[in-house]
Amino acid sequence: MAHEVEHRSLARYLEEHSLKRTKQRDAILEVFLEATGHITSEEIYKRVQKEHPGIGYTTVYRTMKLLCDAGLANERRFDDSVTRYEIAQEHHDHLVCVRCGKIVEFECRMIESSQEEIAARYGFQVLRHRHELYGHCESCREQRETPPSSEA
C-alpha cells in the first residue's frame, strides 16, 4: 500500500481515540497524500468521487478535520477565506498571488532567526506563527504588463 507510514499513523490515532478505521477514511487519506500543494475539501471530494462515488462531501470534510487532529494534515486559510489542506511537514512560509491564487512555499532561516531575536528582545515566547506574503506572481505581472495586440 502506498503511504503505509501515514496509514499506520492514522490507524494508531484512531485506536488511541476509540475511533473506527474505515475504507472511506483510508481512501480520503490516500487521495489527500497524492495531492500536491494546497488542496480544498471540494477538490479532495471530486477526486475521491472518481474511485469511491459513495463517499459524501461531509465524510471528506470530517475526515480532513480528523487528519488535522492526527497531525497528518495542516489546515490553512489565506486571504480568500477558502480552507485548504497541506501535508503536515516542517515549518515553511507562503507567497500568495492575489490574482491567480498561486501559492509558493518557501523557507528562510534569516526570517526565522529575526523572529526569534524579536521575540527574545520583548521577552515573548512564540508558540507558533504564520508568515504569508501577498502580491502578484511573475506570470500575472507579465500578463498585466503585456499590452494587448491590436488587430487591423
Give residue-wise pLDDT tens across range 50-89: 999 999 999 999 999 999 999 888 888 877 788 888 887 7
Percent of the residues in the chain that have a pLDDT greater than 70, as a whole number: 92
What was the pLDDT predicted at 37? 79
Nearest alpha carbon to residue 57 among 68, 74, 71, 43: 43
What was the pLDDT predicted at 64? 95
Beta bridge partners of residue 105, listed in sequence order:
94
Looking at the chain, the number of H-run helices and the number of E-run strands are 6, 6
What was the pLDDT predicted at 120? 93
Helix, strand, or coil (residue 151): coil
pTM across the whole model: 0.63
| Cα within 13 Å of Cα(67), Cβ side | 29
Amino acid residing at 74: N
